[in-house]
Each structure stands twice: as structure tokens, then as C-alpha cells.
């Protein structure tokens, strides 16, 4: 086999983790996370973390290694991915990167801008400004100074709006400027097999609802309760279903309403993921219900 690494991307609930696990068992591989929510150790149920049983079958890296209270970033993922790749090579195993975060795959295959580190004082000042005027107004201020970056950000996304504002304050240059200055990709020079899970929309929508109801049965409500007080500006606050379950615990939503809203939000997120994969990964091979043996044959034929 001449492939140096395999990448399996896909929207949430598309079956990418199961596919990566089966492939790793078949080719003596090691599964490496490329999902921004599955790095957090305190939310294994809500993030659909690979089970302990799965992780005992084959090695899994970059799962559950970060606290929800840490501001984990794409830049930090880059460093972690470099080390995970080195670990897989030392073990003589095929690295299989899998997840649903488009930016993480961009880090792997296209590189990431080397943005100067933001001083703590600026982060504190921007956070105070956010608390003072709210994320929508902070986004409006950003739009007057860095319209290119602001146009790419949702006004309701505090983490990314703050990050763009911080970079502008710290460097005097827009985030869009730095993003055009890509560094060396993690997988630079390697022969890659790149796949996107392409599940029919109706099937994916059904899977999302079934999985969320299974999460509730496994204790997702209790897991959400343990995360009460989490800073909503942190990346981990974007865990799907978290806010709806908090509202359920507060009595602001019935269980039926919380489930409906969480499932709807997850479906919307899956649609955004699919759009990214369609636009940014148009040349990647598509996988439907392909048998892992078929994938192996495609790898051997490269």
C-alpha cells in the first residue's frame, strides 16, 4: 500500500467514526480525531465520542485530551496533529484522520496562517468589550475595521468574532490578511487517500434524530448539567444540544421542545458541513454505504 495517510470527512451522524474504526482494524491503522468538539473530555455523550470499547480495539488519538474550559484553537490542533502523525509513524501504523471540522482538514492538507500570538491583555480587553456591548455590536465594530473578515462570520458567533477582533488589535492587520498567508500543511508531501461520507439527506436527518434520542437515554441531560456555568464564549459552548438541554433543566423548554430544537440545530449544522465539503473538497472521493473492503481495495490500487 502506497498511501501514507487516510482522511475521512463527513457531516455529523454520517458514520465516519465507524468507517474509520473498521478501516483501522482492517489495515492496522490508528484513528486520529479531526473534529473540534470531540477533543473535550467532559462531553463524551453529546459529542458522540468513540466508545471506550472502540478505543480499546484500535488506538485513537486527540480525543478527550482538552478541558471544556480551555480555548482550544485551530492553531493548537495543528501542533497536536503533527505529534499524532509522528506517533502513528513511530508505531508503524497507518494514520486515519476522521472528523467533521472543515478547518481541521484544511490544516492537514492546505496549511494554516502563522498568526502572531495575542497578548493576554488584549484578550482580556476584547472580552470586556464583548461583555459590555454584546456579540452583535462587536461584530458591527469589526465590520467597520475589517469588513472582509466580518462578512465571513456570523454575528452570533462570539468565539470567532472575538478572535478576529483580537488579531486586528494585536497585529494591526485583518485576520483575512493572515489567513491568506498559509503555512506548511501537516501532511505536506504525503500520498493521501481523501474521502467524504456522502449519506442521502433524508437518511442523515433520520440518523441525527435517532442519535440524539439515544444520547438522552445514555445520560446527555446529566452531562449537560455538569457543564452549567461554562463560559459561553468558549469553543466548547458550541457542543450541539447543550443550550437546549440547559433550557430543559431550567424549565424553559419541555423535553419534546428541547429535542426538536436540538435536532433541528444539528441538522442545520450538518447542512453547513455538507456545503463546506461540497465546495472545499470537491475533488475528494465520495463514500456512501461502501464496504470497508472496497475502501481497502481502492487504497491498494493507488
User: How confident is the model over 8-31, as pLDDT tens digits?
Assistant: 999 999 999 999 999 999 999 999
128 & 108 share domain: no
82 & 228 share domain: yes
Angle between helices 74-91 and 102-109 (to 10 degrees): 60
187 & 271 share domain: yes
The model's confidence at residue 209, banded by pLDDT at 50, 70 and 90, is very high
Instruction: Tell me what pLDDT residue 202 has.
Output: 96
Which of 129, 151, 179 is the endpoint of a domain?
179
Does the pLDDT of residue 1 top 60, yes or no? Answer: no
For the ranges 40-44, 104-108, 218-222, 232-236, which has the lowest average pLDDT? 232-236
Instruction: Tell me what pLDDT residue 88 has.
Output: 98
Instruction: Tell me what pLDDT residue 143 has.
Output: 92
Spatial separation of the C-alpha atoms in residues 187 and 289, rounded to whole Å: 27
Instruction: Tell me what pLDDT residue 180 has.
Output: 67
165 & 190 share domain: no
Spatial separation of the C-alpha atoms in residues 219 and 276, rounded to whole Å: 31
Query: Per residue in 102-141, pLDDT tens?
Result: 999 999 998 876 677 788 889 889 989 999 999 999 999 9
128 & 223 share domain: no
**Range with top average pLDDT, 67-76, 121-130, 271-280:** 271-280
Secondary structure class of 92 (helix, strand, coil): coil
Does the pLDDT of residue 3 top 70, yes or no? Answer: yes
96 & 190 share domain: yes
79 & 198 share domain: yes
Does the pLDDT of residue 216 top 90, yes or no? Answer: yes
Which domain covers residue 276, as residue numbers? Answer: 5-112+183-300
The CATH number linked to 80 is 3.40.50.300
Which of 179, 202, 219 is the endpoint of a domain?
179
The CATH number linked to 141 is 1.10.20.140
Instruction: Tell me what pLDDT residue 291 has.
Output: 67
The fraction of the chain above a pLDDT of 90, given in percent, is 74
Alpha-carbon distances of 141 from 124, 126, 161, 269, 277, rounded to whole Å: 17, 12, 10, 26, 31
Q: Is the model more confident about 220 or about 176?
A: 220
9 & 156 share domain: no
55 & 100 share domain: yes
Does the pLDDT of residue 267 top 90, yes or no? Answer: yes
The total domain count for the chain is 2
Please list, residue by residue across 104-122, b when 16 or more beta carbons sit within 10 angstroms of its beta carbon and e when fewer do: bbbbbbbbbbebeebeeeb
Secondary structure class of 195 (helix, strand, coil): strand
196 & 158 share domain: no
CB atoms within 10 A of CB 80: 20
218 & 85 share domain: yes
Which of 138, 155, 179 is the endpoint of a domain?
179
Instruction: Tell me what pLDDT residue 115 has.
Output: 72
Taking all residues of the chain, what is their mean pLDDT, rounded to a whole number?
A: 92
CB distance 155 to 135 below 8 Å = yes
289 & 150 share domain: no
Does the model's pTM come out above 0.85? Answer: no
Amino acid at each position: 500500500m502506497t498511501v501514507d495517510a487516510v482522511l475521512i470527512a463527513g457531516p455529523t451522524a454520517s458514520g465516519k467514526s465507524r468507517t474509520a474504526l473498521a478501516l483501522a482494524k482492517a489495515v492496522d491503522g490508528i484513528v486520529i480525531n479531526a473534529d473540534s468538539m470531540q477533543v473535550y473530555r467532559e462531553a463524551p455523550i453529546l459529542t458522540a465520542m468513540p466508545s471506550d470499547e472502540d478505543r480499546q480495539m484500535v488506538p485513537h488519538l486527540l480525543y478527550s485530551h482538552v478541558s471544556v474550559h480551555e480555548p482550544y484553537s485551530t492553531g493548537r490542533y495543528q501542533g497536536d496533529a503533527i505529534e499524532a502523525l509522528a506517533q502513528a509513524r513511530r508505531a508503524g501504523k497507518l494514520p486515519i484522520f476522521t472528523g467533521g471540522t472543515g478547518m481541521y482538514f484544511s490544516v492537514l492538507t492546505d496549511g494554516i496562517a502563522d498568526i502572531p500570538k495575542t497578548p493576554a491583555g488584549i484578550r482580556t480587553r476584547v472580552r470586556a468589550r464583548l461583555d459590555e456591548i454584546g456579540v452583535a455590536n462587536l461584530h458591527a465594530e469589526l465590520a467597520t475595521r475589517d469588513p472582509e473578515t466580518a462578512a465571513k462570520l456570523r454575528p452570533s458567533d462570539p468565539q470567532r468574532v472575538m478572535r478576529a477582533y483580537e488579531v486586528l488589535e494585536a497585529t494591526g492587520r485583518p485576520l483575512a490578511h493572515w489567513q491568506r498567508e498559509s503555512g506548511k500543511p501537516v501532511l505536506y508531501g504525503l500520498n493521501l487517500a481523501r474521502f467524504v461520507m456522502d449519506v442521502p439527506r433524508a437518511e442523515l436527518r433520520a440518523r441525527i434524530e435517532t442519535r440524539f434520542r439515544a444520547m438522552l437515554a445514555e445520560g446527555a441531560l446529566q452531562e449537560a448539567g455538569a457543564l452549567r456555568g461554562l463560559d459561553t464564549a468558549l469553543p466548547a459552548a458550541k457542543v450541539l444540544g447543550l443550550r437546549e438541554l440547559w433550557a430543559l433543566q431550567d424549565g424553559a423548554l419541555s423535553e419534546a421542545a428541547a429535542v426538536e430544537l436540538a435536532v433541528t440545530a444539528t441538522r442545520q449544522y450538518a447542512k453547513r458541513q455538507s456545503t463546506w465539503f461540497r465546495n472545499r473538497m470537491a475533488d475528494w472521493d465520495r463514500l456512501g454505504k461502501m464496504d470497508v473492503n472496497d475502501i481497502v481495495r481502492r487504497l491498494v490500487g493507488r
